[in-house]
């Protein structure tokens, strides 16, 4: 009994013999190959090998069915589905099995195969693989034939040959993958730049589908090659969603690699009908777009739905994200300011979910009444309560005395582990309408980030301050809060809450922070009032705010 069975469904695959030969030369463990010749004998033929089993089917049954047939012939603990046009790393099988968990699906690093060049038999010129040439080419090595120019030094239009190389390319090297909102496969290089995704083993949202390893037991338990999808197509989405949504993990290994021949460059046809892809995609969308109760009827092993997976890896390019607003107030701003800012906010958020948190009951959004003494800790508790009440992907914070423009809420944070501040904000003096701004005005009132990051940060912040308050006088406590800082991610002092970073961005129209004498933080109206002059860079003063006009116009 082998430890690993490599399952290869193959129909009219001209590189099948080369793939099997490469596997038998590179495998180092107790590994076997089971290849199903789906409707056609292999050409060129497969060399005899004691670890290779060939199954010939006179009539094609389809890629998924052929893979299932191969798996039925296996008694190994692990199975590895492989396309019939791949090259592997030395000892790939042992390297993968060493790290495997029973509820994992794992993929090695993906590279590309350089299968052949076209060679002009008249002049000896060569160029990278592609469709059958109509003339001797020069110029671009890659892309479609139309992207290459005709060789002016050769008039050959008929006499060409393929020069076989069959070797892995040095680049690209792909470790992470995803799918878009049509469930179409996509590479995801940017995921590898996030913290926690840059190690030798890391999670990936999806896979390419040409190679994956898992336990044989899990393969059957999850019905990994469900023939209801059709002959072929959507393999990566099916494997990834069934693994993740049943409580397992899909892992990418940089410890080993395989190289896959992509037909878009290779100039030979697909062995199965292309319309099978759309059939599989329609079946896949009907399955994975179902809410959890309905999904569990179709896929009983599901404990999560697709939204859970999107939240886990969010933001995911190609998918919309939900946005919500936490409005917090100590109920001390002048009534006129409160009324105008609330009206402006309702217009600006355009139907986004709004949770308000106040010291006194408030008829605004979904209100949480959180009584307590006015102060820094109370403000942070209000923010935390609002974040906990929201269920959106992204959270925007909104203060009771700030007027927000709708362009502020158009922003989507590009990274899940960073805080983002809208630095296009003007401060306006309530008494006379005088306004000022600086170039890098990061304020809590302009903060937005992914909810999970905000939740972790403010839970930790509140806990730290609650513990500190027990052992400090009011003066010591307020000094400690100022050292901790109000704006997450903006400093590296020892008292910081966490190590997450922050970036600034600017909306097309600024927000307006109204300073009225009851603000929790002090107002400064001259550069001379700043000890650290970096906070005065880009200082501007005006009697009107771009996009808003003069102060009296705010209340119209």
Confirm if 417 and 194 have CB atoms less than 8 A apart.
yes
Position 436 scores a pLDDT of: 86
Confirm if 364 and 353 have CB atoms less than 8 A apart.
no
How far, rounded to the nearest angstrom, does the alpha carbon of residue 351 sit from its chain's CA centroid?
A: 26
Q: Please write down the long-range contacts of 479-488, taking CB distance under 8 Å and 24 or more positions apart.
A: 481/376, 481/377, 486/376, 486/444, 486/521, 487/419, 487/421, 487/442, 487/443, 487/444, 487/447, 488/419, 488/447, 488/449, 488/457, 488/461
Q: Which residues contact 407 (CB under 8 A, 6 or more apart)?
A: 507, 508, 509
H helix and E strand count, the chain:
13, 29
The structure tokens listed for 165 are: 């190389």
Please tell me whether the peptide bond between 44 and the residue prior to it is cis, using omega within 30 degrees of 0: yes
For the chain, 556 residues long, give each residue's pLDDT as a single digit of tens. 899 999 999 998 989 999 999 999 999 999 999 999 999 898 999 999 999 999 999 999 999 999 999 999 999 999 999 999 999 999 999 999 999 999 999 999 999 999 888 899 999 998 888 778 889 987 555 444 445 678 889 999 999 998 999 999 988 999 999 998 889 899 999 999 888 898 999 999 999 999 999 999 999 999 999 999 888 788 999 999 999 999 999 999 999 999 999 864 444 555 665 556 778 888 998 999 998 999 999 999 999 999 899 989 988 887 878 899 999 999 888 888 899 999 999 999 988 999 999 999 999 999 999 999 988 999 999 999 999 999 898 999 999 999 999 999 988 887 778 999 999 999 998 888 888 888 788 999 999 999 989 999 999 999 999 999 999 999 999 999 999 999 999 988 899 999 999 999 999 999 999 988 766 666 777 777 777 777 778 888 898 899 888 877 776 5
Confirm if 254 and 175 have CB atoms less than 8 A apart.
yes
Measured from the Cβ of residue 398, the count of other Cβ atoms closer than 10 Å reads: 29
CA angle 274, 278, 282 (to 5 degrees): 160
Q: Which DSSP category does 146 fall into?
A: G
CA pseudo-torsion sign 361, 362, 365, 371:
negative
Confirm if 486 and 328 have CB atoms less than 8 A apart.
no
Position 143 scores a pLDDT of: 44
- Does 3.50.50 match the CATH number of domain 323-555? no
| Of 226, 228, 225, 222, nearest in space to 245 by CA | 222
pTM of the model: 0.64
Position 233 scores a pLDDT of: 83
CA pseudo-torsion sign 379, 384, 385, 391:
positive
The CATH code of domain 4-110+172-261+268-313 reads 3.90.550.10
3-state secondary structure of 529: helix
Domain with CATH 3.90.550.10 in the chain: 4-110+172-261+268-313
The structure tokens listed for 385 are: 């309560």
The structure tokens listed for 485 are: 């800082």
CA pseudo-torsion sign 287, 251, 184, 232:
negative
Rounded distance between C-alpha atoms, residue 86 and residue 257, angstroms: 11
CA angle 517, 521, 525 (to 5 degrees): 65
CA angle 426, 324, 363 (to 5 degrees): 85
């Amino acid at each position: 009994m082998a430890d690993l069975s490599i399952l290869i469904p193959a129909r009219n695959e001209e590189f099948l013999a080369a793939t099997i030969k490469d596997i038998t030369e590179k495998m180092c463990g107790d590994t076997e190959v089971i290849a199903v010749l789906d409707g056609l004998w292999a050409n060129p033929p497969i060399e005899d090998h004691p670890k290779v089993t060939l199954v010939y089917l006179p009539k094609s049954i389809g890629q998924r069915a052929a893979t299932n047939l191969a798996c039925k012939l296996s008694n190994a603990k692990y199975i590895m589905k492989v396309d019939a046009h791949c090259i592997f790393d030395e000892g790939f099988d042992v390297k993968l099995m060493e790290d495997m968990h029973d509820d994992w699906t794992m993929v090695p690093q993906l590279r590309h195969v350089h299968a052949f060049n076209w060679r002009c038999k008249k002049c000896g010129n060569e160029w990278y693989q592609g469709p059958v040439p109509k003339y001797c080419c020069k110029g671009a090595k890659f892309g479609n034939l139309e992207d290459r120019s005709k060789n002016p030094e050769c008039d050959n239009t008929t006499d060409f040959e393929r020069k076989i190389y069959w070797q892995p390319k040095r680049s690209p090297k792909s470790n992470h993958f995803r799918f878009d909102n049509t469930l179409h496969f996509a590479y995801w290089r940017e995921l590898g730049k996030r913290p926690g995704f840059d190690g030798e083993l890391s999670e990936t949202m999806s896979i390419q589908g040409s190679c994956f390893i898992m336990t044989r037991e899990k393969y059957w338990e999850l019905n990994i090659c469900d023939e209801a999808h059709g002959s072929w197509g959507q393999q990566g989405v099916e494997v990834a969603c069934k693994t993740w949504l049943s409580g397992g993990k899909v892992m990418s290994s940089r410890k080993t690699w395989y190289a896959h021949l992509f037909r878009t460059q290779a100039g030979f046809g697909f062995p199965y009908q292309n319309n099978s892809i759309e059939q599989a995609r329609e079946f896949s969308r009907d399955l994975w777009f179902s809410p959890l109760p309905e999904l569990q009827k179709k896929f009983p092993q599901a404990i999560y739905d697709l939204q859970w997976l999107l939240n886990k890896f969010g933001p995911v390019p190609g998918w919309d994200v939900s946005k919500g607003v936490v409005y917090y107030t100590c109920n001390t701003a002048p009534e006129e300011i409160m009324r105008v800012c609330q009206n402006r906010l309702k217009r600006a958020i355009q139907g986004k979910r709004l949770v308000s948190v106040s010291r006194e009951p408030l008829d605004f959004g979904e209100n949480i009444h959180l009584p307590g003494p006015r102060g820094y800790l109370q403000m942070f508790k209000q923010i935390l309560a609002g974040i906990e009440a929201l269920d959106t992907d992204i959270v925007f914070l909104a203060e009771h005395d700030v007027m927000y423009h709708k362009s502020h809420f158009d922003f989507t944070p590009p990274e899940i582990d960073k805080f983002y501040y809208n630095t296009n904000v003007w401060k306006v003096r309530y008494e006379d309408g005088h306004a000022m701004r600086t170039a890098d005005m990061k304020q809590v009132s302009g903060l937005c980030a992914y909810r999970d990051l905000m939740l972790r940060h403010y839970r930790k912040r509140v806990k730290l301050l609650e513990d500190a308050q027990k052992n400090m006088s009011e003066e010591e406590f307020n000094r400690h809060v100022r050292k901790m800082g109000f704006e997450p991610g903006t400093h590296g002092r020892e008292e910081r809450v966490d190590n997450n970073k922050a970036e600034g961005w600017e909306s097309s129209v600024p927000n307006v922070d109204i300073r009225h004498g009851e603000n929790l933080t002090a107002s400064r109206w001259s550069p001379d009032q700043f000890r650290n002059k970096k906070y005065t860079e880009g200082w501007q003063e005006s009697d009107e705010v771009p996009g808003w006009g003069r102060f009296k116009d705010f209340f119209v």
